[in-house]
């Protein structure tokens, strides 16, 4: 099977690659370390803000109309209900350390972008791709852990479908002075304890098949999760604001 992707999309500025380029090299595969336990979750730090503790979605709403989130909650996790749409936190936050865990469906259906697809959107705008990329090639800037449409991950550290996986993220949002960007968004991402991105500066909000530019926005925003019609599960979601002792 040839690499899926596109050859008619815009060139990503500063690179030789098109958005979702079908010729862009695939990240090399790295087997992660010890798997997340089905029973034992990573305990949040004492100063963490809990966004989802496995019991209910009271802290989440539909991104479309602000109504209560329509995803399913059971056995300590939330699961996408196809057709109910993206959901987002009521809480808005900015620069942070973020942790969450996800699992692609055990039953394998589809290939490329049609297999275990979802996404984690920081501030509702900047996507870390969620996908089942275990023995499932797709375009490089759309693989698991990609900064979607911009930067492929350094490696593919996916576990098998159905196994719990973890993202640990350091997020620094963009800063603006009027219409000017004074600091691009910057992100560090680890998947299953393996580094995917280190202080990578995003080129703007992430999007499908296009190149975007920054538009001024607030320093805080919600965390959003994508309904891409696949039964992806999430659990143990929390963040810590990036503040010094004298900035509380």
- Could you tell me the residue ranges of all domains in the chain? 28-241
Percentage of residues in the chain having pLDDT higher than 90: 80
Asked if residue 5 has pLDDT above 60, the reply is yes
Average of per-residue pLDDT values in the chain: 91
Give CA–CA dist 155/145, Å, rounded. 9
pLDDT by residue (tens digit) across 119-146? 999 999 999 999 999 999 999 999 999 9
CB within 8 A of 156, min separation 6: which ones? 26, 27, 28, 29, 30, 133, 143, 144, 145
Please give the CATH number for the structural domain made up of 28-241.
Answer: 2.60.120.560
pTM: 0.90
Residue 35 pLDDT grade (very low, low, confident, very high; cuts 50, 70, 90): low
DSSP 48-112: PEEEE-SS--TTEEETTTSPBP--EEETTEEE--TTS--EEES--B-SEEEEEEEE--SS----G
Mean pLDDT of 92-109: 94
Tens-digit pLDDT profile for residues 206-245: 999 999 999 999 999 999 999 999 999 999 999 999 976 5
How does pLDDT run across 141-162, given as a tens digit for each residue?
A: 999 999 999 999 999 999 999 9
* pLDDT at residue 54 is higher than 90: yes
Q: Compute the average pLDDT of residues 58-69.
A: 95
């Amino acid at each position: 099977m040839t690499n899926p992707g596109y050859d008619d999309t815009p060139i990503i500025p500063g690179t030789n690659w098109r958005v979702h380029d079908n010729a862009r090299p695939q990240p090399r595969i790295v087997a992660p370390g010890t798997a997340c336990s089905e029973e034992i979750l990573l305990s949040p730090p004492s100063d963490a803000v809990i966004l989802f503790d496995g019991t209910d979605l009271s802290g989440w709403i539909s991104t479309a109309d602000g109504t209560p989130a329509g995803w399913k909650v059971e056995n300590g996790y939330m699961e996408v209900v196809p057709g109910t749409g993206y959901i987002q936190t009521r809480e808005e936050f900015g620069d942070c350390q973020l942790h969450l865990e996800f699992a692609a469906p055990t039953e394998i259906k589809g290939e490329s972008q049609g297999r275990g697809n979802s996404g984690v959107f920081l501030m509702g705008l900047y996507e870390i791709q969620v996908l089942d990329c275990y023995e499932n090639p797709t375009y490089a800037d759309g693989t698991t852990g990609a900064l979607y449409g911009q930067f492929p991950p350094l490696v593919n550290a996916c576990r098998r479908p159905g196994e719990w996986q973890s993202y640990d993220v350091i997020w620094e949002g963009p800063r603006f002075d009027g219409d000017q960007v004074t600091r691009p968004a910057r992100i560090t991402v680890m998947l299953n304890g393996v580094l995917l991105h280190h202080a990578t500066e995003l080129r703007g909000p992430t999007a499908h098949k296009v190149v975007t530019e920054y538009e001024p926005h607030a320093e805080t925003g919600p965390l959003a999760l994508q309904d891409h019609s696949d039964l992806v599960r999430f659990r143990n979601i929390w963040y810590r604001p990036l503040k010094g002792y004298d900035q509380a």
